[in-house]
Amino acid sequence: MQTTTTPPLWKRWLRTQLVAPFGSSVVIARRYHFGAGGAAYAITTLVLVIGAINGQNNLLFVVFGAAVAGMLLSGIISGWGMMGLRLTREQPAAMRVGERAVVRYSVENKARAIPVCGLLIEELPKATSALGASFEGTAEDGLGSVRASVARVGPRGKATAEATIVPRKRGRYAFTPMRASSAFPLGLTRKSVTFAQQDGVTIRPARVQLPLTIGAAAPTGDERGGGRQSRTGTEFFALREYQAGDSPRSIAWRATARANTPIVRASNTPPGERTWVVLDIASTVRAGSEQPDDSTAAESMEEVIAIGASVCERLLEQGHEVGVRNAAGDVLVPLCRGLGSVPSMLDTLALLVASEHTQAANVSQLPRGRLVWVCGMAPSGMPPAETAILSTADPTLRAALRASPATLEQSDAGATGLTTNFLGSLLAELAGKAKDAARSLFVPQSAGGTR
């Protein structure tokens, strides 16, 4: 029988106190990291002192003193600047799979005299505080490696670093532990400060460039322009409050004046304008493998969801009333209309667990009206007549999937060769300051000035 160990009460209380509210960070650990270079340097220094003592050679004592000074400079003096470091993360609330996004870090150095140089910022999947409290984040599962760098933060100074990422998997992910580290100036030891900041991000399905024929039978007139249906040819239904995406022409001005809030006229939706997008996830299991968790089937599931999300987005932009069901007829997203419904629909599809909707098609549970059937190689059942079928095996959609931004790969060029980039940036900064100083010495002052 497996037993679980419950942390002591003081550790659980401490963790609740350490993790700050969303948007702020706290320091949970400070550490030194010794690598192969630092170990070789320490061994060399030990050999020097042994040789100096045995040989009583003054030159060896001088070299030994320089080696100890380098060790102090790399390990202790530069570490003082890290003591006053503060780090805060800013990230978008939502991202799209395959589309580049930026995570910003605000760095502040509260030290009065010592700068922080060669700073590397990275997200951690897990971190442990100095008192044993554990902090975990899941951002790496959906975003991959997230890294940024800062060349220099002066005393009492601030800087901003950006990490460009390409999300690779939809879902809801949590940011919590992040680490700022520096090996400046000699690279013998790396000093790090670990922060905990609670943040979350929703990664929406990939955007697929659909053919223009999909959703071509869109409403016209005011319905196309405002994301809401036109009053012409529809029957008045009720009055309701204004929502994002409503056409200004549908505002009931007298009711708005009485209620002191925007009121619009809602009309009955003709049956032909209601569209259900059916995600036939069961067809991907049959097309890819008999195991729902097989990598081929999982990839096909994601393609079906990405195509379905793009179809919903286009139809909503064209003014349709759109809902999402699975092949068994279960409602995944209720009917909605207007551009204001696009984010909430994409967020719902981002959190959809595909393996829970692999039931075979049940046409009798599907509503009458316009259906857009998104499937793998072939539908898992016989769709109703006059149903638009979109298959991932279709050459046009295959080309659209290949051309999708999801095929972009994340680049870690910003984190690779950090020391070289830092030294180049620092030398360029010093050269610029030297040039400005020399220019101020040789450029004559204006009349009335004194030298």
pLDDT 10s digits, 4-43 = 555 565 555 555 455 544 457 888 888 888 777 777 878 8
Note the pLDDT of residue 102: 92
Measured CA distances, 341 to 192, 245, 336 (Å): 44, 8, 6
Residues 272 and 252: their CA atoms lie apart, in Å, by 26
The helix or strand, by DSSP H or E, that contains position 37, with its residue range, turns out to be helix 36-55
Q: Do the domain assignments include residue 211?
A: no
In our burial notation (b when 16+ CB lie closer than 10 A, e otherwise), range 130-139 reads: eeebebebbb
In the predicted model, what is the mean pLDDT of residues 239-243? 74
Is the separation of the CB atoms in 119 and 153 below 8 Å?
yes
**DSSP classification of residue 200:** E
What pLDDT, on a 0 to 100 scale, did the predictor assign at position 23?
54
What pLDDT was estimated at residue 160? Answer: 92
Within a domain: residue 429?
no
Q: What is the mean pLDDT of residues 233-258?
A: 71
pLDDT number for residue 270: 53
pLDDT for res 105: 93
In a domain, 430, yes or no: no
313 and 335 within one domain: yes
Please tell me the predicted confidence (pLDDT) of residue 15: 54
Based on the domain organization, do 77 and 50 belong to the same domain?
Answer: yes
Average pLDDT score over residue span 379-406: 72
Domain count within the chain: 3
Tell me: pLDDT of 258 over 80: yes
Q: Which pLDDT score is estimated for 5?
A: 59
Q: Which domain holds residue 142?
A: 18-204
Cis bond upstream, residue 8 (ω within 30) = no
Q: Name which residue leads in pLDDT, 9 or 447.
A: 9
Q: 284 and 330, same structural domain?
A: yes
- Give residue-wise pLDDT tens across range 85-99: 899 999 888 999 988
Q: What pLDDT is attached to residue 9?
A: 56
User: Tokens 């978008």, residue?
Assistant: 92
Cα–Cα distance, 269 to 280 (Å, whole number): 26
**Pairwise pLDDT comparison (151 vs 291), residue with the higher score:** 151
Secondary structure E strands in 303-357: 321-326, 331-337
Kind and range of the H or E run holding 369: none
How many CB atoms are closer than 10 A to CB 108? 15
Let me know whether 260 and 277 are in one domain. Answer: no
pLDDT of 157 > 60? The answer is yes
Same domain, 288 and 264: no
Domain annotation covers residue 234: yes
Please determine, for residue 443, whether its predicted confidence score (pLDDT) is greater than 80. Answer: no
Give pLDDT, residue 161.
92
What is the band of 450 on the pLDDT scale with cuts at 50, 70, 90?
Answer: very low
Domain boundary among 388, 404, 420: 404
Report the pLDDT value the prediction gives residue 103, as an integer from 0 to 100: 92
Q: Which two tokens stand for residue 372?
A: 């857009």
- What CA–CA distance (Å, rounded) separates 311 from 96? 15
| Cα 421 to Cα 110: distance, rounded to the nearest angstrom | 24
Same domain, 263 and 290: no
The per-residue b/e assignment along 63-94, b for 16 or more CB within 10 angstroms, e otherwise, is bbeebeeebeebbeebbebbebbbbebebeeb
Residues 198 and 184 in one domain: yes
Residue 335's alpha-carbon distances to 203, 320, 371, in angstroms, are 22, 10, 13
pLDDT at 166 over 80: yes
220-232 b/e (C-beta count within 10 Å ≥ 16 → b) = eebbeebbbbbbe
Whole-angstrom CA distances from 6 to 11, 12, 28, 99, 403 are 10, 9, 20, 41, 50
pLDDT of the residue at 236: 55
Average pLDDT over all residues of the chain: 74
| E strand segments, 132-273 | 134-136, 147-153, 158-165, 171-182, 189-204, 236-241, 263-267
Read off the DSSP letter of residue 133.
-
CATH number for the domain that contains residue 146: 2.60.40.10
Q: What is the pLDDT of residues 167-221, one digit of tens each?
A: 988 989 888 889 998 888 777 778 888 998 888 899 999 888 877 555 544 333 3
Segment 406-421 shows an average pLDDT of 40
Q: Is residue 443 part of a domain?
A: no
Shortest CA distance to 148 belongs to which of 170, 128, 173, 118? 118
Angle at 224 between CA 221 and CA 228, to 5 degrees: 100
Q: How do residues 306-351 score in pLDDT, each as one tens digit?
A: 888 998 988 888 888 899 988 888 888 888 888 888 999 999 999 9
Whether residues 181 and 256 share a domain: the answer is no
Q: What per-residue confidence (pLDDT) applies to 162?
A: 92
What does R_g of the chain's alpha carbons equal in angstroms? 31
Report CA torsion sign: 361, 348, 306, 145: negative
Sequence-ordered list of residues with C-beta below 8 angstroms from that of 140, at least 6 positions apart, any chain: 123, 125, 146
98, 406 Cβ separation under 8 angstroms: yes
The token pair that represents 308 in the structure block = 């379905």
> What per-residue confidence (pLDDT) applies to 337?
86
pLDDT at 407 > cutoff 50: no
Angle at 29 between CA 34 and CA 114, to 5 degrees: 75
Domain co-membership, 278 together with 261: no
**pTM, two decimal places:** 0.67
Q: Are residues 170 and 187 in the same domain?
A: yes
For residues 321 and 353, membership in a common domain is answered with yes
**pLDDT class for 226, splitting at 50, 70, 90?**
very low
Q: Is residue 438 part of a domain?
A: no
Q: Is residue 120 part of a domain?
A: yes
pLDDT at position 220 is 37
Q: Does any domain span residue 433?
A: no
248, 283: one domain: no
